Every structure is written in C-alpha cells, then in structure tokens.
Structure 1
Amino acid sequence: MQQFCLTLSLLFVLTTLSAQATLRGSITDADNGQPLVGATVLLKNLGRGADTDSLGRFRFSDLDPGRYQLQVAYLGYQQLELQEVLVSAGKEVVLDIELEEAPTSLTTITVKGSRTAQGSVSPNLLRLTQEETLRFPATFNDPARLAQAYPGVVGADDQANHLIIRGQSPLGLNWRLEGLEIVNPNHTANAGTFSDRSSLSGGGVNAISSQLLEEGRFYLGTYSAALGNATGGLLDMRLRTGNNEKAEYTLQAGLIGIDLAAEGPFRAGGASYLINYRYSFTGLLTDLGAQFGNEDIRFQDLSFKFLVPGAAGSRLAVFGLLGKSSNVFLPPTDTTEWGTEKDLYNTIDFSSEMATVGFSWTRPHQEKGLWRLAGAWSGLRTERLALAADLPAREWDNLRQEKTSLQISYRRKLLPFGSLTLGVEMLRLDQRVAREFPLLLEGLLDISSDIYQVSPYLDWRFQVRKVLLQLGARTSFWANEKEQKTYFEPRLSVSYLASAKNILGAEYGVSTQAPSPYTPVFRPRKAQQASLFWTYLLQADRKLTLQVYQQQLSAFTGQAARSEINQLELMQLATPGTTRGRTRGVEASLQQFATGNWWYVLSGSIFDARYENTNGDWVKTRFAHDYAATLTLGKEWSGLDRKGQFNRFGFNVRIQYNGGLRAAPILLDNSRAVRTTVFDYDTGFTQQLPAYFRTDIRLYFQKNRLHWSSMLSLDIQNVTGQQNTAYTYYDRLLDAVNTRYQLEFIPLLSYRINF
C-alpha cells in the first residue's frame, strides 16, 4: 500500500511539473571564427546573465517558455542585441552568435533572432527568421512569402512565391543555399504563371522545409562583393545546425504536407545531424482514394545538414536537398460542366525534379584569419505535356538546368583597419530548353547553353569613429564556347552612427546576371543601384526606416515589351536587340519587435518602374504596380493554466493593398484567327489591372509540457474572399476575352509537436 501511494505521488508530481526551456550557444569572432572567452550574455527582460566559458559557450537552463531579449557584449567588439528569441519546451534553442571587432563600441546593433550583426544596419538586407515564418499569417512557412511583409516586395500571384522586387521581373532573383548559388528550389514551378509553363524564379511550395531553416537573408539589390549573378534581389537560405547534445524530433501535419524531422549528435566531438522528410497532404489523401476536383497536385522532398567539427577549430558542413512534384489535370467527363478553355484539354501533365548537394569547410588561420572553401551542385528538370482534341499537335515544354558553384575565400583582420576578405566565386551553368507549341506558328524551339563565370572579389569592412565602411570590388568573367565578356562590379556601403538611435547611410552597387535559357544570345544582364537610408530607434524594440533609391537596368535581351524586363516564365521568344530600364522609389517601414505581448510591421513603398521602348520613350513595365502598403500585426496572450503549465495563444493579421500589375491590350481578331491570346506588344503595357487587396489571419495555440511542446494553428489566406484579378486572356472555348482571378479564401490547418 505504501509503495502504491508513493507511485501515485510521483505521477502527480510529474504531471504538475512546469515546463522548462533551454537557451544555449556560442560566441565567436565573426572574422576568424575563434571563440570569445568571457563574453557577457544577458537576458534583458530577466536581468539574468552569464559569461562564456573557455570554448566560448553559454547556457541558460530552466527558463520559462516565452520570448527573450538577448544582449551580447565583449570588450572591443560591437555589442549585439537579439530582440525576438523564442524558447519552448521540447526543443533547445542553440544560437551560434558572431561578433565583429571594432575600435570603439559606439552603439548597439539591434536585430531580430539572427546570429550576426554583419550588414544589419542596412535596410537592403532583410533577415527572415524561422520563428517569423511560424508567426506571420499565410506564409506557409516560406521565407519568400514572408518577405512580402516588408517594403519593396510583393508577390506576382497568390498561387506561388514569385517576388516582384521594386517593380522588377521575378527573373532578377537569385536563389542560394548556405551562400552557394542553386537552381530554383521550389515545387510546381509552373504555378502562378500566365502560360502554365515552368519559371526559374519560384513555385507553389518552397522545397526547403522551415524545420531546417535558421534564416533567409534577403538582399534587395545591394549586397557585398562576395555575392553576384542577380539584378533584382538575392535570397540566401541558411540552414540551422542540429542539436549536438541530445536527440530531438518534430512532427508537423497540415494541409501543405506532413513533416518528419530529426536531429542530434552522431559522434563525439560535437558532430550533429539534421534531417527532414515531407510529403504533400493532398498527395497522401489522393493515394488513399480521395479526390480534389480535377487536379492531382503532389510533392515530396528530403533535406539534410551534417556538421562535423575538426582539428584546430575547423568545421565541415554537408547539406543537400531532393525534391519531386507533379500536377496532373483531367477535365470533367461531363462536357456541360466545361467553363474555360482549360477543359478542352484531355490532359495537362506537369512534373519536376530537383536535387542539390553541397559542402562548406572553414578553418581559422593563426589568430587573425579564416579560410573558407564551399561548393555545390544543383540540378532541375521540368516537363509539361498538354493534349487537346482541337489542337493540331501537342503542347510540350522541357527545361533542364544545372549549376555547379565553388567558392574560395580568406578573411584577415587588419585592425585598426577592420577586416579584408579576398575570394573567388566560380559558376558553371548548363541549361537547355525545348518547346513545341502548335499555335502562333511558334513551331519547335531547342536552345542549349553552357556558361562559365569566374568572379574574383575583395571586400573591406572597417570603422572610423562613427562611420562604418564596406568597400567591395568584383570582376565577373563570363564565357561560353564562343565568346568572353568581362564586367567590373564595384560595391560601396557607408553608415554614419550619429547616435545610439540615429543611423544614416548610403549604398551603391553594380551587378550582372546570366542570360536566361530562352535567350539564344550570350549577353549577361546588368544592373546598378544607389540608395540613401535613415534608421531611427524610437525605442530599444521599435524602429523607423526610410529609404530612397534608384536602379538602372541595361543589356536585357529583347526589344521593349518583349524584353526580359517584362517577362516571368519567358513565354515570348527573345527578339533581337536589348532594352534598358529604370526604377525610382521611396520606401518606409515602422516595426515593433515581438518582445512583449504585441508586435507589428507597417511598410509602404511608392515607385516608378519604366523601360525604354523602340521610340525612345520611357513607359511603364509589366510589373509597375506603382505602390504597395502592408500592415502585419499580432497579439499574444500567455500564462499558466490550472495545472501550472505554460500556454500561449496568438492572433495575427496581415492586410495588403497594392496597385495592380499591367497588361498589354489583347488583339481580339488576331487571337481568334490563331486561337490563342495575341497581345499588342507594340502598344506596351497600357492597361493596369484593378488594385490588389487581401487580408490574411493566423491563430495559434501552443502548449508547453515537461518534455514536449505543441502548436495548433489556423491560417486563412484572403479571409474576406476578395476577387483579385490575376490576368486577362483570350479563351478559345468562350471565344472571348476572359478574366482569371487569384485564389479566394484558403484555410490551412496545421499541428506541430516538438519532443
């Protein structure tokens, strides 16, 4: 009887123990990777601090689940303050933080849940964290969709994550993984396009699960000399490191897919693994016999990262991504249900496969240097087949692209003159596109190209009293089997730390980008951008940013409206000649960090995006929506329930209002003659679609228990059911110009558990 009572007492204690969380990590020198011994780490909202040990490590155990402000300081280094650090039960938060050495610590660099202060004062670098993808409404855990909450970025279509950056075509975006250039890492790359053909800029679902994401570094046109091959922007997805002390698991099930993630140590010395497999939820239900209308959309992906520490402070990371997706359409068997020309097709079958494998190796050199060697191979294949009884032949598209990237760099401290990085980035781009299109007399298309890029660069960062300077120079050598071209790409960033609250800055950069697979001419595109910005800290967790900028585009293949400036999936064949473009704009944002019970991001932009037509006139581009405004805000309620367990409930909303995209007039008689849409490109994009308005919401409820935490969430995209115009086209079934609308009222329920 006594033993029975003791057992009951033990069970009662275990069920009433409050959940506790762990926050730990390491502090290292950003330039040489050496641990900083004795650095001070302070949890500001608790007044609780710790010093790093002989390996630069710190640990806070037995924390209540919730949000914390983390301040890191070390004598002679720039002080760093992380504003949005969320800890929960069942999964340790591990931060590998880097500090930059500076002659004087004049101010505190305030950032979100990021691990480094490098470039943080510039509004042209957005750090999109994993925690934000789980908090902002209708992001579908995708950093590209998350970026639309900030100024200068809007989506081209609700179905996909194609990004229009400051009025530029999404083709100007460069995708990277762990700093290395890769192919388009998105499933169903035909989603959200006018022609239902594959694009190089985005897709329906990001193939890299948020379970692995540490942050997405999103550059809006100006970046360091180490980065290139982009004219619009650059999204570098950084993977977090798996837990090197204990095994942890995550299970997530929702209407997007089912994720299974595992991480932990796999040998002594701090080595760790992190792996995630995901299978689409609709694909699983279809396998079980369920039907979702006339389309079968499915995908699956596997992503991983292994980290192995070595001798003398070296670190080797191996990472990879495998993805496969398909979209098969079959028309209704009852012809009375046919509503658009899509129903004329017996089948539309789209499929894609992608793969990426890469490595990154770093090794400190003496006490002031750091070597880095990294490389990756990535490949993409997409195919679309469409058959219709009223067409004389099939519609068929095949796109193949491979990228092999290699980087070698050496960073050296030059105190009191900052740090200097010398490096070279090499890229091989092998691509081929083939097409059969029976209408518009387009006939057969088969273009292949094999392009090489070698880009040596130098990047010098230093601080002179209140001025932070970053000077960069990059020379890009482009070559194929017939031609060679050389471009000089200077980069400059200047920030004046007027006070602890005021930062003034200016940036300038030139960059080039490889021609698209659809371009038969070897001609890299070129862009240059200049900007002025001002950042004011209203409070420690609230900031205001203003920026004005100007972009100049040149050498874009094709003439006027048919040029690459105005294309997304490159439906139009490239015409001879090149086209210039320009964009001028003003951006503003006001952000309240999620340090308390509420937060918000208010952003707005006004810009003028134009290209030069054949008459020498500067006219609006296809993507010139002129203005954009977004308000994203949220409120959290947290506390202990009746059992003494910590719970958290959140309600978040995002409201978007943008100008409409533009379209060329449709020539109805010409379209009827060839039975497909014919635009009057000679006139240009003179028609503007109606303004875009959308409201999204997200509700979530998180439980924290002794050894696990869970979150139940509901996202609703376009909660008001607003009909936003996607585009107009000639419909050969209706024999009239028809309007295609974007998505309406999309609910997404998800459940996530960490243990």
Structure 2
Amino acid sequence: MKNLILSVILLIQLLPVFVCPQTSMAQTQNIRGKVTDVASKSPIIGANVLVLGSNPLIGSSTDENGSFRLLNVPVGRVNLKIAFIGYEDVFMKDIIVNAGKEVILEVGMTESITSLNEVVVTFQRSEDAKITNNEMATVSSRPFNPSETLKYAGSLGDPSRMAANFAGVSGANDARNDIIVRGNSPASLLWRLEGVNIPNPNHFGALGTSGGPVSMLNANLLAKSDFMTGAFPAEYANALGSVFDLRLRKGNDEKHEFLTQVGFNGVEVGLEGPFSKKKTASGRQASYLLNYRYSLFGLMSAIGFQIAGTPYYQDLTFKADIPVGKKGTFSAWVLGGRSNITFLGKDVSTDGDAYGDENNNTFVNFGAGVGAVSYEHRFTDRTYGKITLSASQSFQNFDGDTVIYKGDTKDIEREIRNESARFSNDKLSINAVINHKINAKNKLTGGFILDFSQFNLKNTRLLPVPNDLRNTTGETMLGQGYLQWKHRFNEKLTLNSGLSFMSYELNRKSVVEPRIGLNYVLNEKSTINVAYGLHSNLQPILLSFYQNRNADGTYSLTNKDLGFTQSHHFVVGLEQSLTENLRLKVETYYQSLFNVPVETRPSYYSVLTEGVDFAPTDIGNLVNKGTGTNYGVELTLEKYFSNSYYFLLTTSIFDSKYKGSDGIERNTPFNGRYVVNFLAGKEFKIGSKDNILSINWRITSAGGRFLRPVDLVQSAQTGITIYDDDNAFTAQQPAYFRTDLKFSYKINRKRLTHEIAIDLQNITNHQNVLQQAYNPRTQRVGTAYQQGFLPIPFYRLTF
C-alpha cells in the first residue's frame, strides 16, 4: 500500500506535464554520426545516408572524416539506409528521434568480397537489429540498444532484467537482477565495459556474485551493446555462462544537453556536451557525459516516508572523449556507486516477506567503482589499436545479530552479534588490442589483459563458537592473451576462430581455450551457424580463502589450490527471415562441465549450485572432481518495430544436471526445465502528431527452482534451519508466473521531450515462492514470497 501511495504522489506531481498547453507545430531533430570500415575503423568517404520513406527525401553523404548530418528529421521512429560502392548496405531500423536530444550514431560497414560483375547475395548481414558489435560472434549472441531496457515492461532500465526476456535466459528472483543462462550459475557471467573486465556493477552486489537488486549501469548513457550466452569469441575469458559486453556512448560534441529523471533506479540528473565549441584542426570535437543518481526511497525517507529496510544508494557515471590529431582518440571514464541497508528483525513481516528475516538483524554496506583511461589510434587504413589502463575497487561490509524473542511474541529479549565481515578487492589492469584487416576476406585481432589484484578478507562467525572463516590479505595476478582470425571464404561462408590463453598466479594454473564458429548463408533469407568453445572460470576469491578450522585450533586454506571450472560448449543455430520485419531463430546446445569443485567427502555439494545470494560460500576441502551437463533448445520469434507495434516470443526447453562427490546425478537449483516469455508493444499518436502513447505488455512463465528441503525435526532440535541434504534438489517449487503492463506517454516540444510512465509489475499479484526456512519463534517452516503487485512510476525530461 505504501508503494501505491508513493506512486500516486509522484504522478500527481507530474500531472502538470499533461495539462500544459501544447504546440501543434511539427517538431524535428537532427541525426548525425560517423561511418567507418567495421574491420579497420578507417572513415568511409562518400557513403550515402538516407531516411527511408521520407517525403521529401532526407539524405546526406559522408565527408572526409566519414561524418554525415541529416537535418530537420521529424520526431518519431525512422529507418536509415547507408550505402557505398564496394560495401554491404547497412539498414538501421527503429531509431527513436526526440525533440529534446540529437541522435548521434556510429555506423560500421563491411567490405564486400564480391566484385561488381558477380551476383551479390542480398541477405542483409549488416542489419543493425541482428548484428553484434563484435564481428567474431557467430552464435548465441544478440545486440541490444538502450531503448530496449526502457521499452520492455518490467525491465526498469536494467540490462540484466531486459536480458531475462531473451531465449535461454531466466531471472533468478524478483528481488535481484541475477540471470540464469542455460542452467548455469549466475556467478559465471562476465561483465565487460568499454573492453575492461569490471566488478559486479550492481548496488548491494556481493563479492563473488554478478547481480543485485539495483543496477549501477545507466541506460541513458549506454550505446549499442552485446549479450552472449555461449561459445563466445576468444577475447572473452573467465566466463562459463554468459557475457555482457557494454559500451558507453559519446557525449554530444556540438551542443550541451540535459536530462532529469525519476524512476525505480533513483532520482537522477545528467548533462553532456562539448568541452569547447572551437573547432579543432581535424574537425573533431572533445565531449563529455556526466550523470548522477540517488535512491528514490532514500529521498522519501528524509520527508518521513519509511519502509522496513530503506535502501540507500547513489552512483555516478562520467565519460570524456578527446580527439588527438586526425587518427587518435583519448578516452576517460568512471563508473561507481555505494549502497547500504539495514533490516531489523522486529520490522520484518511474519506473513511471508522476501526481504529480511525476523530472527536476525542485518547491517550491510557495499561499494564498487572502476575508472579507466584509454588511447585508440588508427595506424593505417587497415590497422588500429587500443591500450587501456584501469583501476577498480569493490567492498562488502556485513554485521549480523541473532534476535531472541520472549516466547511466541515479538518482544525482544536479546540481540546477539553472530557474524561480522569486511571484504575488499582492488585491481589494476592493462588491456591492449590490435586489429588488422588483411583484405576483404581476412581480419586478425590480438590482445592481452593483465589484472593485478590486492585483497583483504576478514570474516568471523561468533555463534555458536567463535570461528575465523577468513583472515587473509594478499595479492595475485590473472593474465590473458588471445588471437582471433576471421576469414570469409565467399559471400556465403564465414569462419570465426580464435585461441585464448589464461594464467592465474595464485595457484599457478593455466589453460588454453580454442574457439571456432562457422556461419553459412543458405539463401537470401536463411543462415545456419555452428560453434564450439572451451571455456574456463576462476573460483571466487572468497571461496579460495575460506579457512578450515583444525582440531588443534589452527586453520588451513584447503581451497586455495582449486583450478578452473571448465566446460565444452557446442551450439547449432538456424536464422530465418520470414518477412522484412519478422525473424525466426532456433538454437540447440550442449554444455559439458568438468573440473567442478566438490567436497572430498561424499556429499551433494557442487559450486554449480551457488551464485544467487548475498552471503559467501563457507565450505572447505574442495577438489576439482565434479561434473555437470546443460542442454536444450531455444526459439525466438521476433517482429521488429514497424506499423507502430512489435512483439517478441522466446521459448527455452532445457535440462541442467550435476554430480557432487557422492556420484549422484541431481538437478541444479536452476533447472526450471522451461521458460516462456511473450512481450508486445503498441504506439498510438495522441492529439498532436508529436505525442505518443505506448502500451507494453510482458508475460513470463517458468518452471520452479529446485531446492534443499528443510528437515523440520533437526531444525526444531537445533533452533536453526537444517536442510535434508540427502534429498537435495529433488523437490521443485511451484511454477513461476508474472505479467507486467507498462503505460508511457511522450510529449515532444520545441527543443525538449517529456516522458512519463507507470510500470505495473505483477499485475495479477501472483505469489511466487522465494525460499523456505525454519522459524524458531513459531517453530514451523515459513515461506517467503517474491514481489507482489508493485506500481513503478517514471518521468524523464531531456532538453
């Protein structure tokens, strides 16, 4: 009810936006950008850029820097065609043009290998909606634009929540944005930003995990990015399940623009523009982006609106791009945030609350930040390179109390400190890459990444007896080198191959990973893709330094020498263009995991069961002897936005199993066996032709997660939750179901754009189970449920 009241308050505050006088004058905006050779980054001079369907025709040609400018483009959605002799045409669809912000594009074109007197295959391999930024990605990859994170109902501007709608992906729970990809643990995801491997970019993001409740990533600042779910190129190492390869856009280099926004991720302000309006000798300008956000609920608490466990968080993103001569670019960027929350047991609801535990007080403080400077240089029209220096820090502080009540009441008798943790991990990195286009058929890419880490891990459990779970400071290094080769045999057949090498100083372990993929164009509407990759993943640093207490009171680091968890990944896919705007994609995969850490004694446990929690894994005496398998088939039917509507249907049928040291094959907790997502959206012109009403709908159904059942007898005897590990992951939760509905309204005026929306999450108020645990006060097993019906308001102003 409080959330509903908050939503109503905000909507009342924003109501004047609708009742203000509106101009009937049609609004326009400019589209500008740069066109380059995708393999060499050299500018393409004289390429034609056209707005399809415009009347009168709107078009332009690129200048000596590859730059183009389209003036007075009507606001709304437009499609572009970029063409140049000797290159494959590029079609960019569904570009949103708003009055309050210029559209700035970076377009890569692929050189054709067919001479003019030969028959050209017309399959549009360069169509923007299908093709990833990374040329070497063959299968299981999808590009996404930041607009999708705001368009899809329930996504809340979060790339992870958006990706949960893609085939092969499911959300872990409503309270966090962890994603499960093809049955893999969420901890096996790799986050990369501007070519740098970054720490978990989420508020309340614990070390060793990849998700959290609120993302630090800002959709307003992201450029077109890639999401990959398996058999990815050789440049991506230390990942088993998936990769987010994110890019930040450049700021407007000609004029200053501003943004204010209120939504789930907080209250934010942003600005961008040129450092100076003075033209440089090369004709390029330096620009910047800056955005700051603060917790909406944190602000509301300051005026008396209180909830149990108010989340406080803030984040900042900055990027600067400075041209150096005609062939170089210097960039600097920063992403960082802090968050804290307190859950008091006495404030937690007893009727099934997903947030907190009535028998514990929890005090947590998280933070993560990364900054980088880089220089990119185009040596020739065929060769360019980039070097990046970066630094990052992540920390997690935790204190917990056991709350003892008087009898069966909520009157507190005592609060006893039960655990304390102080974790930090600092990293310095060097990234270097060089790309060389040999000719239209061949491209080579090579590079290395060196990560120098320093860590401080202190963790003490005080009950039932004092025990130092971790007490370590140290440093280590992870090195990676890779080489990739792209060869186009002809217009129909393309080979992507690569080799990756990774070495970890902590335990003197190293691996060599081959990757290979083939893409074959069957006809102008169909392609078939095949790929294989060997992938390896480090163990989380907290797991490596868990201490086992010996009988004489000393401690041993029994996990320190653990090697990489590895997997063979095989993928076959078929893509079919049914119509110009309707695509069908089917993929089937098989993943064999090996060298998985399990216990030396016979037990159910495997690292493959971890990854969705705020707490670290506290198990020692592990060895790399476990196995696992994931296999399934995925279907995507997508209609790109046209005729004012779109839809996306994704279906995944899969199986995810593992074996612990007891040799018994079990379901992983993530083996839901199926996921179905259906999304659709429709736009309506209201009043003035510049105003747009959008309705977006999402429905999700997925098999329930497998769990460890609670042993009620043992739990009652000990007073804490004891699980029946002999029957681990044999019981399945009820199926997950949720549907979301989002209404948004956009008003374009002269030089500014208003956007207001309400995202109605879980509109049926369906009760999805989160977890079960023993409650010593009530002496029964309690069930915590996930998020019920929740309206999320949104407002954005750009000018």
TM-score norm. by structure 1 comes to 0.92
1:54 has 2:64 as partner: yes
Paired position in structure 1 for 2:313: 299
Alpha-carbon distance change, 506 to 189 in structure 1, aligned in 2, over 3 angstroms? same
Paired position in structure 2 for 1:4: none
Paired position in structure 2 for 1:7: none
- Residue 624 of structure 1 and its aligned partner are, at CA, apart by 0.7
Alpha-carbon distance change, 283 to 55 in structure 1, aligned in 2, over 3 angstroms? same
SS in 2 for 1:669: helix
Alpha-carbon distance change, 165 to 139 in structure 1, aligned in 2, over 3 angstroms? same
- Residue 161 of structure 1 and its aligned partner are, at CA, apart by 0.6
1:399 has 2:442 as partner: no
Residue in structure 2 matching 1:456, options 463, 481, 487 = 481
Paired position in structure 2 for 1:349: 363
SS in 1 for 2:358: helix
Alpha-carbon distance change, 335 to 209 in structure 1, aligned in 2, over 3 angstroms? closer
Q: 1:410-559 to 2 correspondence within 5 Å?
A: 410-439=434-463, 443-446=467-470, 448=472, 450-465=475-490, 466-480=492-506, 483-517=507-541, 518-519=543-544, 520-522=559-561, 523-559=563-599
Paired position in structure 2 for 1:81: 91
Paired position in structure 1 for 2:107: 97
Paired position in structure 1 for 2:717: 673
1:211 has 2:220 as partner: yes
Paired AA for residue 426 in structure 2? E
Query: Would the aligned equivalents of 1:124 and 1:221 in 2 still touch at CA under 8 Å?
Result: yes
Paired position in structure 1 for 2:298: 283
Paired AA for residue 580 in structure 1? T
Alpha-carbon distance change, 301 to 368 in structure 1, aligned in 2, over 3 angstroms? same
Alpha-carbon distance change, 593 to 645 in structure 1, aligned in 2, over 3 angstroms? closer
SS in 1 for 2:764: coil
Task: State the Cα deviation string for residues 446-492 of structure 1 (Å, max 9, x = none).
Answer: 15463322222111112111101111111112212xx3122111111
Task: State the Cα deviation string for residues 583-622 of structure 1 (Å, max 9, x = none).
Answer: 0110000001113311011000011111123343432111
- Residue 414 of structure 1 and its aligned partner are, at CA, apart by 1.2
Residue in structure 2 matching 1:729, options 745, 763, 773 = 773
Alpha-carbon distance change, 265 to 553 in structure 1, aligned in 2, over 3 angstroms? same
Paired position in structure 2 for 1:153: 169
Q: Aligned-residue CA RMSD in angstroms?
A: 2.4
Query: Would the aligned equivalents of 2:137 and 2:496 in 1 still touch at CA under 8 Å?
Result: no
SS in 2 for 1:175: strand
Residue in structure 2 matching 1:19, options 1, 22, 27 = 27
Give structure 2 stretches of 5+ with no counterpart: 1-20, 115-119, 405-414, 545-558
SS in 2 for 1:343: coil
Query: Would the aligned equivalents of 2:478 and 2:503 in 1 still touch at CA under 8 Å?
Result: yes
CA distance in 2, matches of 1:410, 1:44: 36
CA distance in 1, matches of 2:451, 2:374: 16
Task: State the Cα deviation string for residues 684-712 of structure 1 (Å, max 9, x = none).
Answer: 31111100000011110000111101100
Greater shift, 118-127 or 304-313, is seen at 118-127
- Residue 434 of structure 1 and its aligned partner are, at CA, apart by 3.2
Paired position in structure 1 for 2:18: none
Paired position in structure 1 for 2:5: none
CA distance in 2, matches of 1:737, 1:333: 19
- Residue 87 of structure 1 and its aligned partner are, at CA, apart by 0.8
- Residue 124 of structure 1 and its aligned partner are, at CA, apart by 1.3
Paired position in structure 1 for 2:249: 240
CA distance in 2, matches of 1:556, 1:441: 31
Paired position in structure 1 for 2:75: 65
CA distance in 2, matches of 1:473, 1:336: 54
Task: State the Cα deviation string for residues 134-156 of structure 1 (Å, max 9, x = none).
Answer: 11011110011000111111111
CA distance in 2, matches of 1:116, 1:155: 23
Greater shift, 335-344 or 128-137, is seen at 335-344
SS in 2 for 1:673: helix
Q: 1:149-188 to 2 correspondence within 5 Å?
A: 149-188=165-204
CA distance in 2, matches of 1:374, 1:120: 21
- Residue 572 of structure 1 and its aligned partner are, at CA, apart by 4.0
Task: State the Cα deviation string for residues 76-107 of structure 1 (Å, max 9, x = none).
Answer: 22332222211110101100111222313633
Paired AA for residue 145 in structure 1? R
Greater shift, 690-699 or 352-361, is seen at 352-361
Query: Would the aligned equivalents of 1:39 and 1:74 in 2 still touch at CA under 8 Å?
Result: yes
Task: State the Cα deviation string for residues 545-583 of structure 1 (Å, max 9, x = none).
Answer: 000001111222224632210012344424422311110
- Residue 635 of structure 1 and its aligned partner are, at CA, apart by 0.6
Paired position in structure 1 for 2:410: none
Query: Would the aligned equivalents of 1:255 and 1:282 in 2 still touch at CA under 8 Å?
Result: no
1:272 has 2:287 as partner: yes
CA distance in 2, matches of 1:336, 1:277: 37
Query: Would the aligned equivalents of 1:246 and 1:265 in 2 still touch at CA under 8 Å?
Result: yes
1:632 has 2:674 as partner: no
CA distance in 2, matches of 1:338, 1:594: 41
CA distance in 2, matches of 1:393, 1:633: 50
Alpha-carbon distance change, 295 to 20 in structure 1, aligned in 2, over 3 angstroms? same
Greater shift, 352-361 or 652-661, is seen at 352-361
1:620 has 2:667 as partner: yes
Paired AA for residue 204 in structure 1? P
CA distance in 2, matches of 1:334, 1:216: 40
Give structure 1 stretches of 5+ with no counterpart: 1-12, 191-197
Alpha-carbon distance change, 497 to 335 in structure 1, aligned in 2, over 3 angstroms? closer
Paired position in structure 2 for 1:330: 344
CA distance in 1, matches of 2:178, 2:195: 20
Task: State the Cα deviation string for residues 505-524 of structure 1 (Å, max 9, x = none).
Answer: 10111121221122232322
1:231 has 2:240 as partner: yes
CA distance in 2, matches of 1:320, 1:476: 27
Paired position in structure 2 for 1:9: none
Task: State the Cα deviation string for residues 490-549 of structure 1 (Å, max 9, x = none).
Answer: 111110011221010101111212211222323222122110000001112210000000
Residue in structure 2 matching 1:318, options 332, 335, 340 = 332
1:375 has 2:389 as partner: yes
CA distance in 2, matches of 1:99, 1:437: 58
Query: Would the aligned equivalents of 2:657 and 2:667 in 1 still touch at CA under 8 Å?
Result: yes
Task: State the Cα deviation string for residues 176-197 of structure 1 (Å, max 9, x = none).
Answer: 111210111100226xxxxxxx
CA distance in 2, matches of 1:704, 1:607: 45
Query: Would the aligned equivalents of 1:181 and 1:403 in 2 still touch at CA under 8 Å?
Result: no
CA distance in 1, matches of 2:295, 2:327: 40
Query: Would the aligned equivalents of 1:151 and 1:605 in 2 still touch at CA under 8 Å?
Result: yes
SS in 1 for 2:604: helix
SS in 2 for 1:342: coil
CA distance in 2, matches of 1:79, 1:740: 54
- Residue 28 of structure 1 and its aligned partner are, at CA, apart by 0.7
Paired AA for residue 53 in structure 2? N
Paired position in structure 2 for 1:8: none
Paired AA for residue 641 in structure 2? A
Residue in structure 1 matching 2:607, options 549, 557, 564 = 564
Query: Would the aligned equivalents of 1:398 and 1:435 in 2 still touch at CA under 8 Å?
Result: yes
Paired AA for residue 706 in structure 2? R
Query: Would the aligned equivalents of 1:728 and 1:738 in 2 still touch at CA under 8 Å?
Result: yes
Query: Would the aligned equivalents of 1:98 and 1:115 in 2 still touch at CA under 8 Å?
Result: no
CA distance in 1, matches of 2:348, 2:154: 35
Paired AA for residue 91 in structure 1? K
Q: How many residues align?
A: 729
Alpha-carbon distance change, 24 to 741 in structure 1, aligned in 2, over 3 angstroms? same
Paired position in structure 2 for 1:195: none
